[in-house]
Structure 1
Amino acid sequence: MGILSRTSYIIRSKLNSVLNRAEDPTETLDYSYEQMRDQLQQVKRGIADLTTQKKRLEMQKRRLEENVDKHNDQARTAVQQGREDLARRALEKKKTKMNQIEDLERQISDLQQQQDKLIEQKNTLQSRIEEFRTKKETMKARHEAAKASSQVSEAVTATGEEFEDVGRAIERAEEKTEDMEARAAAMDELQESGAFEDVLSDKDDIDRELEQLETDSGVEAELETLKSEMGEGGGETDAEPAGDVESEAVEEDIEDMEAEVDDSEVEAELAELQDEENA
């Protein structure tokens, strides 16, 4: 196979592949059906033209037959009048017309045979068209049903180009959402651990530990003060008779404690706290 032949073969195969992909079976069936109907119309026009020609020949034959009768009468009249010459001429014309009539009859017979043949072909073609139309509608219905079923299957199984794009979009959205959730969780964890404060603050670990110790010592000092105050108040409460109602006793103790805590004690506690802060 030469280069040109191979090139031509490849081009035809490529075009055939493209046409196969672009072909719509329903459109192809409709086009074929219309082509068959056009052929049927052509056959009908051919029958009509043939019938017209035959009718013209039949009309011409009738005129010739009328002339034959006329020439026959003329010959009879001429014989009666003793004009054999006129009778002979009339008979000659009669013979010519009869020959023409025979020729027309042969042509009419041929046209009639052609007309019968075309009518038979027309009937056969019309039957095939009706049969094809039924098959065409059936095939179109099957094709549409198969197409719908395929689309539904693709939708259910999430296949096909469009559904694959949708699936990829969902996957990307899920990945972005997971990244945002992970980032938010990381921010919360850093916030709780104080990492952000460490970044914003200029204090180091030693400064923060010393501050924590000072806070703890202040709390312990205040706790001891409260204990001592509660101890003094508790002794006075024991000296009093025990009552039946505990709530009243508690209220009296609180009032006694408030009465015993004077300004000097507050000043002493404040001085103690200041000494601890300065230590």
Structure 2
Amino acid sequence: MGIFSRFGDIINANITALLDRAEDPAKMIRMMIQEMEDTLVEVRTTSARVIADRKTLERRMARLQEEAVEWERKARLAISKGREDLARAALAEQQAVEEALRQASREVDAIEEQLGILNEEVGQLQQKLDDAKAKQKSLQVREQTNRSRMDMHRSGSREKLEEAFRKFETYERRMDNMEAELESRDLGRNRNLHEEFEDLERDDQVEEALAALKARMQADKRSDD
């Protein structure tokens, strides 16, 4: 189904308003341009046909003009020969031809008026078509600009994301290094702690031995007394 139903719809159309209401402006403008171009072809075809009709009428008028002149010549000849009856008949034919000539002239005038209207319509259609094509180009530029901005945005977002990953990886590596260093310190600290407990156990053994020795010495002293 076409967007426009008649020539007047195209001429009176507000392209911007139609595009603002369209779900797909790019598709809508393509349809508009196609319909305008089709209508323009139709109007120009009609104009060509009317021009052809005018040329046909102009040729007919030229022949009628020649006939009128010829009938007048015959009427003059008849009068010169004393044949008024033939002169009257010739003049009657001349009048009929001249009436046909006047009718053809009125038809040519009507055709000229129609051609003037068609020429104006072609001009209006062409202007609307030029406006639509300009709007289409503007939409294409806007679409390309938006696409480029989206690509740049996606590219920028990707770079930021990659940068965040790199920072996170660096942070993880730093944490790994710190944990490794702490573990290495803990390993050394665990060995010292073990040795300390061994020392404590040795101290306990020494104390026990010392206490035992003192007990024996006390016992020996009591026995000497």
TM-score interval (norm. to shorter)? 0.5 to 0.7
The residue type paired with residue 89 of structure 1 is A
Quick one: distance in 2 between partners of 1:64 and 1:91?
Answer: 14
Quick one: distance in 2 between partners of 1:101 and 1:47?
Answer: 24
Q: Residue 82 of structure 1: SS of its match in structure 2?
A: coil
Quick one: distance in 1 between partners of 2:32 and 2:124?
Answer: 17
Larger Rg belongs to: 1
Work out whether 1:99 is the aligned partner of 2:99. yes
The residue type paired with residue 140 of structure 2 is K
Q: TM-score, normalization: structure 1?
A: 0.46
Work out whether 1:30 is the aligned partner of 2:42. no
Alignment of 1:39-50 (within 5 A): 39-50=39-50
Deviation of 1:156 (Å) = 4.5
Residue of structure 1 in register with 2:85 after alignment: 85
Q: Deviation digits for residues 126-164 of structure 1, max 9, x if unmatched?
A: 122222212211111101211332344355457xxxxxx
The residue type paired with residue 94 of structure 1 is Q
Quick one: distance in 1 between partners of 2:29 and 2:145?
Answer: 16
Residue of structure 1 in register with 2:130 after alignment: 130
Work out whether 1:62 is the aligned partner of 2:62. yes
Residue of structure 2 in register with 1:150 after alignment: 150
Deviation of 1:111 (Å) = 0.5
Runs of 4+ that moved beyond 6 A: none
Residue of structure 1 in register with 2:113 after alignment: 113
Deviation of 1:90 (Å) = 0.3
What is the aligned length? 143
Alignment of 1:1-279 (within 5 A): 20=23, 23=24, 25-154=25-154, 156-157=156-157
Q: Deviation digits for residues 49-101 of structure 1, max 9, x if unmatched?
A: 00001111111111111100000000000000000111010000001001111
- More off after superposition, 44-53 vs 140-149: 140-149
Quick one: distance in 2 between partners of 1:150 and 1:114?
Answer: 53
Q: Residue 82 of structure 2: SS of its match in structure 1?
A: coil
Quick one: distance in 1 between partners of 2:55 and 2:86?
Answer: 34
The residue type paired with residue 109 of structure 1 is D
Q: TM-score, normalization: structure 2?
A: 0.56
Deviation of 1:118 (Å) = 0.5
- More off after superposition, 37-46 vs 96-105: 37-46
Assess if the C-alpha contact under 8 Å between 2:29 and 2:132 holds in 1: no
The residue type paired with residue 123 of structure 2 is N
